[in-house]
A and B are shown apart, each in its own frame.
Chain A
Amino acid sequence: MESREQVIRKIEEMAGRMRRNALEMASVAGVGSTHFGGGMSMVEITATLYGQIMNLDPADPEWADRDRFILSKGHSVLGYYTALAEVGYISQEELLQYGQHGSFLHGHAIMNREKGIEFSNGSLGMGLALGIGVAVSGIKQEKNYRVYVLLGDGECNEGSVWEAAMAAPNYKLNNLVAIIDRNNFQQTGANQDIMSLGDAAAKWKAFGWETAEVDGHNVGEMYDVLSQESSDEKPLAIIAHTIKGKGFSFSENNNEFHHAALSKDHYETGLQEISEK
């Protein structure tokens, strides 16, 4: 059996490969641009989920007992498709066809169960309600799967997030985990300037959730919180403090990379920075 340290090292290596692939995808997309910043802030979250935590069988993508992941912040596909590729839902060749005519990988994920994409998303504020439906189904059908929904902190501007946040504890959905990628930015600026989420953990707690706050780039912290046993009857909200554009000097905390085309210089700088890690 692998030690915790080995597991963490493995996830960190996976995150590194995901960023490398994301750089390639952004480069392939060219002037088509990608949501680079939000994709990079979530890499350690999806690496931990797909690399270690979730029970999945890519050979049997509709396996009834699989854990479910829903990318509610649907634009952040760079941190999603690269994880699906790591575990075998998507081939490397398919990944690098991203955004090209005829590819099934677009700027917002389109439902494709065969390829591990549970739902279509893109319009913000919709993923958590879908997750509730899946979680209610799991309880009614006495399944042991867990449902993970990844939301953005900017996405939490949407009132529909809070309709769902209110409902989940009412249904005692201890098989539901909401992860908030708290990267402190949204499309046109800082979250605190556009529409501040304030004390995110306090808000989710007040809605009746079990809450935890972690460094979303610290794989050990992510792994530990996601490995915990479920509470008896509360859903879990994890506030993952992250850095938008994480991993590259040109994009970290630089909101110009919310949705941007990568220049040749950025690509080469990115490659160099990855090789130095």
Chain B
Amino acid sequence: MELKKSQIKMWSRLGTRAAYGLGILELSKKIDNLMVLTGDTSTSAGLDRFKKKFPDRYLEVGIAEQNMMGIAAGLSSEGFKVITSTFSPFQTLRCCERIKVNVGYMNHKVCMVGLASGIALSTLGYTHCSIEDISIMRSIPGITILSPADCGETVKATAAALGHNGSVYIRITGETRDCQVYDENYDFKIGKAVTLKEGSDVTIFATGTMVKESLLASERLSEMGISASVVNMHTIKPIDKEAIQKACETTKLIVSAEEHNMLGGLGSAISEYKSTITGAPPQLFIGLPDAYGKAGNYDSLLKGFGLTAEGIFEKIASKIKN
């Protein structure tokens, strides 16, 4: 799907969730067997306009996420292209076994969209945060995991998922604010990481909200004379092995940056492959601690965990110094 500059600009102002909903509206023009399911979350998913415009392509399942996944699999088995969306904890952990049996095991193709993943809803407490979703979804065979970096990429990821021959989990991070990484169209291919910046000392593999922060951090590193590559790892499964191989051959430190538990997420996926490479450089894991912390303001928590440009810069600079 090709993005126009005007769309990128408009969607970036709205935030990732609204961009997703409007993206579906756009994509539905070309897909006549699309079914969109939500669990009383049409507004949260930016899907109210879709719901009004295509009532026969929309199915409200109510607050029953397990049921939503079963119905989605049933529809998929009859040839529909099916999208489900609700808040990330309910899209993944709440109906985890449904995803295993109905989607993974039986191989029914469903595009699952987890809204407000990471700690974007941290003022609501950790019931509404999702720091485990990548880990959980990664261990279910047959499911591709996408984690877009900005609003435009969220729409690109959705288009790619609908055209993909298999089930996909799209992890939407960030809140309603400017997180724009891309300002013009580019190639989005599932499984193929995008190198946003070339460097010779460090490779930062970032995903979701951490892509923009890592780009900013790399500028600070550059001022210190540290040359950092920044790679947008928009696909976490299957992980781009070539990109990891290249990073190991060309740089001396690998960094993973993600708004997810440091256990089981992007960092783990990278290290699993990296461990097979003889003489691979060490890895610095940047992510959320393996703990349920205090609820609070999103920006303050990100800052506290060092998941900001400044925090990423400091961790890398400190690692290199030591």
Contacts and interface: CB of A to CB of B under 8 A. Distances in A.
Interface residues of A, number: 27
Contacts of A164: 67, 70
B106 to A, nearest CB: 5
A149 to B, nearest CB: 10
Interface in A159-178: 160, 163-164, 166-167, 170-171
A134 B98 contact: no
Interface string B49-61: 0000000100101
Interface in A113-172: 118-120, 122-123, 126, 128-138, 140-141, 160, 163-164, 166-167, 170-171
A225 interface: no
Interface stretch (B73-81, B168-176, B226-234, B240-248): B73-81
A166 B70 CA distance: 14
Contacts of A122: 101
A160 B70 contact: yes
B62 A129 contact: no
Contacts, number: 79
Given A120-B105, A129-B69, A163 B74 contact: no
B77 A119 contact: yes
Nearest to B62: A167
A184 to B, nearest CB: 26
A157 to B, nearest CB: 15
Given A130-B74, A163-B64, A167-B64, A137 B80 contact: yes
Contacts of B105: 120
> Could you say which of B66, B78, B106 has the most chain A C-beta atoms within 10 Å of its C-beta?
B78
A126 B98 contact: yes
A120 B56 CA distance: 28
B75 A133 contact: yes
Contacts of B72: 133
Given A123-B97, A164-B70, A133 B77 contact: yes
B270 to A, nearest CB: 32
B97 A129 contact: no
A167 B68 CA distance: 10
B70 to A, nearest CB: 2
Contacts of B263: none
A136 B75 contact: yes
B40 to A, nearest CB: 12
B102 interface: yes
Given A111-B106, A126-B102, A167 B74 contact: no
B140 interface: no
Nearest to B95: A160
Given A160-B67, A167-B61, A167-B67, A126 B101 contact: yes
A132 B71 contact: yes
Contacts of A134: 74-75, 77-78
B28 to A, nearest CB: 15
The 9 closest A-B pairs by CB, nearest first: A133-B74, A129-B70, A137-B78, A163-B67, A163-B64, A133-B71, A133-B75, A130-B74, A134-B74
26 contacts: A111-B106, A118-B77, A129-B69, A129-B71, A129-B102, A130-B70, A130-B71, A130-B73, A130-B102, A132-B74, A133-B73, A133-B76, A134-B78, A135-B74, A136-B71, A136-B75, A137-B74, A137-B79, A141-B78, A160-B66, A160-B67, A160-B70, A166-B64, A167-B67, A167-B71, A171-B59
